[in-house]
Structure 1
Amino acid sequence: MSNWSVDYASLNATSSSLKVSNPVGFEASALQKHSKSDKLNRQAGNADRDDQHQVALKVKRAWDVAMGPAKSIPMNAVMIYMSGTSLQIFTVVVTAMLFFNPVKAMMTVQQTFSRFESTGAAKSQPGADLLQAKLAFIGLHFVTILLGVYKVNAMGLLPNTASDWLSFIKPKEILEFAA
């Protein structure tokens, strides 16, 4: 057993006898009760503001997702530079990645943005439409596909001369090769 104790009854009696002054800037008139109609009006206004805030937050998050592919474009550009133009398994895999990943992402654009869609009355609010964010998402993936087309052309696999299509035209002779 301990040799000390606290008498809580004595603490309670002393705190009620002390008078604490109001803080600086406190106005007692701010505590007045408002009528029920004022409360209902304030609650309706707060609900509208909350809906607008939620829609704005969803649209902001949708734009964050839409701009996500822009972060991978520089990385993909470095990858195609580092992989070279020779036909090797690593180069082919990097080039295939430049085509398959964006196409797969473009096929699932509705699923990607479905969590940001507004429902009910919030759908009719201005700025709730996600069409521009979806188009930006698709456009940035299209840029990645264009990087893949550039890589295929640099590897010499893109048929871009007449001799590639017609058998009676001689292919262009390459006069020099870099070693």
Structure 2
Amino acid sequence: MQAFMLYMSGSGVQIFSIGIVFMLLLSPFKNVAGMNQAFAQFAPSTASNPKSLLTLPWPKLVYVFFNVLTLAVGLWKCRTMGLLPVGTGDWLAFETRGTVRNNVSLLFVGAESLFRHQRSSYSSLQDTIE
């Protein structure tokens, strides 16, 4: 049912689609929190504590798996709606740049060594001409 509601909500960011996604992201946590209560009625009559985590471990594990799968579908929907920061442009506020002074000083150091090389080659050229 939730998959059909996700399909019908579309990929735009509207209040209806955000409500559906919020419900989809919240329900797995609520389901796992109430798992022992939900499985208590299926516990064997010989169990000392029907609400124990160790009662019916395999069905509970499958139940948790499908709730994690539901959570993954909800996160995928958030990604398709553009609500999750997955691109490099989403983190530009946290990037830092070097100062301009450092970049300019590197330019002058490079230019100085270039001019020094040109002067030495010019003087060696004059020596060969004379």
TM-score of the alignment, normalized to the shorter chain, above 0.5: yes
Give the aligned CA root-mean-square deviation in angstroms: 2.5
- Alignment correspondent of 2:31: 105
Question: Which aligned pairs between 1:80-119 and structure 2 lie closer than 5 A?
Answer: 80-119=6-45
Following TM superposition, by how much is the alpha carbon of 1:120 offset from its aligned partner in structure 2, in angstroms?
3.7
Distance 1:82 1:121, change over 3 A: closer
For residues 73-121 of structure 1, give each alpha carbon's deviation from its aligned partner in whole angstroms, at most 9, with x where no partner exists: xx22221121111111110111011111121011011111122222448
Give the Cα–Cα distance (whole angstroms) in 2 for the partners of residues 146 and 165 of structure 1: 22
**Aligned residue number for residue 60 of structure 2:** 134
Per the alignment, residue 143 of structure 1 pairs with 69
2:3 to 77, 81, 105: 77
Give TM-score, length-normalised by structure 2. Answer: 0.61
1:166 is paired with a residue whose SS is helix
Number of residues paired by the alignment? 91
Letter of the 1:143 counterpart: L
Alignment gaps of 5+ in structure 2: 50-54, 97-130
> Deviating runs (4+, > 6 A) in structure 1?
none
Q: 1:157 to 1:81 in 2, by over 3 A?
A: same
Residue 82 of structure 1 aligns with an amino acid whose one-letter code is M
Structure 1 unaligned blocks of 5 or more: 1-74, 124-128, 170-179
Distance 1:165 1:114, change over 3 A: same
Distance 1:154 1:140, change over 3 A: same
The equivalent of 2:84 in structure 1 is 158
Identity across matched positions, percent: 36
Q: Which has the higher helix share?
A: 2
Letter aligned with residue 39 of structure 2: F
SS of residue paired to 1:159: coil
